[in-house]
């Protein structure tokens, strides 16, 4: 039982982290057209408080057309 509880907890943690990545990438994508400072500020805050999978994000950045903003955010 303990093992399955730990696995479930890890799964929830991983899912939460994935949601943060999806939201961040979606906000960067939305920002492509609007250049919204609100979207940028949200991205900065998400990146600052979360343990993000940077290699995953860097892989998807070019696919979504947000590679430049993503690099500015992560290297910045």
| The two three-digit tokens of residue 3, written as one number | 């093992």
Report pTM: 0.77
CB proximity list for 21: less than 8 A, separation 6 or greater: 52, 53, 56, 57
CA atoms of 9 and 3, how far apart (whole Å): 10
pLDDT score for 18: 84
pLDDT in tens, 8-39: 444 544 666 688 998 999 999 999 999 999 99
| Predicted confidence band of residue 50 (pLDDT cuts 50, 70, 90) | confident
């Amino acid at each position: 039982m303990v093992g399955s509880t730990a696995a479930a907890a890890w799964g929830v943690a991983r899912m939460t982290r994935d949601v943060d990545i999806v939201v961040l990438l979606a906000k960067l994508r939305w920002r492509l057209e609007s250049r919204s400072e609100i979207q940028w500020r949200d991205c900065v805050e998400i990146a600052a408080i979360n343990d993000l999978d940077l290699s995953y994000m860097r892989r998807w950045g070019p696919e979504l057309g947000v590679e430049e903003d993503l690099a500015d955010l992560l290297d910045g």
